[in-house]
Amino acid sequence: MIANGVSHRPDPEQAAPWVRTLRTTRRWFMRRTGLAGLLALLFGGGALRAAADGEAPGALADAFAGMFQDQYKRMSPDDVQAALGRIQRNALRDYDREIEVRADPPKPNTVYGYAINLSKCKGYRKCVDACVAENNQSRDPAIEYIRVLEMDLGSLDLHGGDHHYNPDLVPREGKFYIPMQCVQCDNPPCVKSCPVEATWKEPDGIVVTDYDWCIGCRACMVACPYWARRFNWNDPVLPSDKINPVTHILGNRPRPKGVVEKCTNCIQRVRRDREPACMEACPTGARIFGNLLDPESELRYVLEHKQVFRLKEEAGCEPKFWYFFD
């Protein structure tokens, strides 16, 4: 440290002899780091060679290769395949369960949207349960993507809504229910706020997160006006028999501690034309999901024939998530 042109570093020549032996000069640090790097290369090279010989790489090799994994959008197809294999092996190690991880690409001419009929939603929370089961969310601490707000009739004040409601029977008199989840903004503030570009909008409109690239700064959680993002404060607790083995690398694959996650419209399902889990579970038929670019889709019929609105439109995020009463 040099201030006013005077070095405050103690002169090594004047220090005690035992300090002189332990002194941390830059040269010493570089030499030690280089040595450690060489050792790591030797280890890692051995592990990678083992993989090339047909043996499954061990935990050390996977950890080493994962350290050098690039951001998802910059990965080559081979890199993606290697990452899928690593995720599967890690799931087997951590949860003792064989899972299938896919990397389905977005479909052409597709932008997904969502609509909810608030006249039909009764606050059963079936969507919440289905979401947790489908998306391999941590059970302890419990992470839930969907938040169902119980609101007073005649008010759309979201801060007055209660998502811890627990009456004996729903729906209650004088109340209505608004399910909230990630609205998949067309102009997503979470993407703008991410300092490392670990989250982005896919061509089919789904905002996804690269869990291996996320640094856990939680800037996106602050930026999101819809309270849609969740943080893994601890190592996710996920019983082996509760794991959904059909996963997507940007969706419901098991997540590590210290990363942010959120609803992806069940990317592992909708990219294979299936309905999102919340829609399939809803017993009232309040949820309507579809392709905004398909003029025959049910979603387009809703947008053209019902009085739809969006939450917090003034934030300018252009959510692809509409609500309506009928």
- Residue holding tokens 């930026």? 223
Cα separation, 137 vs 139, whole angstroms: 6
Q: Give residues 231-260 in contact with another protein (rule: CB under 8 A).
A: 233, 245-246
Task: Please check whether residue 87 is in contact with residue 254, taking contact to mean a CB–CB distance below 8 angstroms.
Answer: yes
- Per CB under 8 A, the segment of 4-12, 18-26, 68-76, 271-279 that binds another protein is 271-279
Among positions 83, 228, 278, 279, the unique one binding another protein when judged by CB under 8 A: 279
Among residues 42, 283, 313, 318, the one that binds another protein under rule CB under 8 A: 283
User: Site residues for another protein, window 82-141 (CB under 8 A)?
Assistant: 100, 117, 122-126, 128-129, 141
d(CA 154, CA 170): 18
Segment interacting with another protein (CB under 8 A) among 44-52, 75-83, 188-196, 293-301: 293-301
- To another protein, the closest distance from the beta carbon of 64 in angstroms equals 31
Residue 171 · residue 122 · CB < 8 Å? yes
User: How many Å apart are CA 313 and CA 310, to the nearest integer?
Assistant: 6
Beta strands in 19-73 (DSSP E): none
Angular region, 86: left φ>0, alpha ψ -120 to 50, beta rest: alpha
| CA 60 to the chain's CA centroid | 25
In whole angstroms, the minimum distance from the beta carbon of 103 to another protein comes to 14
When asked if residue 288 is in the footprint of another protein (CB under 8 A), the reply is yes
CA distance 237 to 219: 24
Query: Which residues are CB-contacts of 127 (< 8 A; sequence separation ≥ 6)?
Result: 146, 148, 179, 277, 278, 279, 281, 282, 287
Stretch that binds another protein, among 11-19, 159-167, 197-205, 215-223 (CB under 8 A): 159-167
Task: Tell whether residue 153 is a contact of another protein (CB under 8 A).
Answer: no
Smallest distance from another protein to CB 246, Å: 5
Interface size with another protein, residues (CB under 8 A): 54
Residues that bind another protein (CB under 8 A): 100, 117, 122-126, 128-129, 141-142, 144, 147, 157, 159-160, 162-171, 233, 245-246, 270, 272-276, 279-280, 282-285, 288-291, 294, 296-298, 301-302, 305-306, 326
